[in-house]
Amino acid sequence: MAAALVCDLLTALLDSWTLWGHVAGGTAVGARWRRASLELTYASGRYRPYPDIVSEAARAVDLDPALGGELIDRWDELEPWPEAPAVLSDIGCDHRIALVTNTSEDLARRAAARLGAPVSLVVSAEAAGFYKPRPEPYLRALEELHMEPHDALFVAGSAGDVPGAGGVGMPVVWHNRMGAPAAGGEPLAEIADLRPLPEIVRSA
């Protein structure tokens, strides 16, 4: 049985795609903007201000960069996937839960508060000094949990988290809700929603 659950936040546990779509004025353009922001964080490596990346991603998909500021202003509208609070509350009864997210420290805390479930630790890219899938954010979580990689199960939301977390030795479950193509690595399991997660955690 895994001793702790470490999760991506903005895709694995929260429906960030809907907020991006609302701010962009449409689901399709919002998805393109969201994907562009993911690509920029993955390419950045060392941390630089997340709001700047969001605005740059808007420009990259021919949106007004000022929408980045609107997205940040509306950050507290983020909602968890419908089953996430109950699933996390179940797992939280006998496991520590940590979050590792590619945002600023402030936005990480605000997003975590939207879960409505117990969380022991939040590691932002800003605090780690690097964006995932660099190893530093994952290793920072393990260090603060005082755990070896094989004792913590990681829940990936985006494809890049699979080789990222797997690369530091954590077993990975990929919550591939959006049906994204693989980007390397071999997850322990791939799930379309979070409901199977408690059983996986307790049998890992």
- Tell me the two tokens of residue 143: 């260090």
Residues 134 and 194 in one domain: yes
Residues 110 and 142 in one domain: yes
Residue with token string 């890992």: 204
Residues 100 and 199 in one domain: yes
Are 7 and 98 spatial neighbours (Cβ–Cβ below 8 Å)?
A: yes
Q: In total, how many domains does the chain have? A: 2
Residues 138 and 195 in one domain: yes
Are 144 and 128 spatial neighbours (Cβ–Cβ below 8 Å)?
A: no
Q: What pLDDT, in 10s, does the model give residues 75-106?
A: 999 999 999 999 999 999 999 999 999 999 99
Residues 71 and 158 in one domain: no
The pLDDT of residue 204 is: 81
Residues 30 and 104 in one domain: no
Q: What pLDDT, in 10s, does the model give residues 182-200?
A: 988 999 999 999 999 999 9
Q: Is the pTM of this model over 0.85?
A: yes
The pLDDT of residue 118 is: 87
**What is the domain extent for residue 86?**
4-15+78-203
Residue 145 has pLDDT above 90, yes or no: yes
Among residues 76, 94, 109, which one ends one of the domains? 76
Residues 139 and 99 in one domain: yes
Of 102, 100, 185, 112, give the one whose Cα is nearest residue 139: 100
Give the CATH number of the domain where residue 185 resides. 3.40.50.1000
Residues 134 and 183 in one domain: yes
Q: What pLDDT, in 10s, does the model give residues 43-81?
A: 999 999 999 999 999 999 999 999 999 999 999 999 999
Residues 69 and 115 in one domain: no
Among residues 76, 93, 108, which one ends one of the domains? 76
**86-106 burial by CB neighbour count: b if 16+ within 10 A, else e?**
ebbeebeeebbbbbbbbbbbe
Residues 57 and 142 in one domain: no
Residues 92 and 185 in one domain: yes
SS3 for 34-97 is: HHHHHHHHHHHCECCCHHHHHHHHHHHCCCCCCHHHHHHHCHHHCCECCCHHHHHHHHHCCCEE
pLDDT higher for 103 or 116? 103
Alpha carbon distance 74, 99 (integer Å) = 21
Which residues have C-beta within 8 Å of that of residue 191, sequence separation ≥ 6?
173, 174, 175, 176, 197, 200
DSSP 101-165: ESS-HHHHHHHHTTS-S--SEEEEHHHHTB-TTSHHHHHHHHHHHT--GGGEEEEESSTTHHHHH
Residues 172 and 103 in one domain: yes
Among residues 31, 50, 76, which one ends one of the domains? 76
Residue 1 has pLDDT above 90, yes or no: no
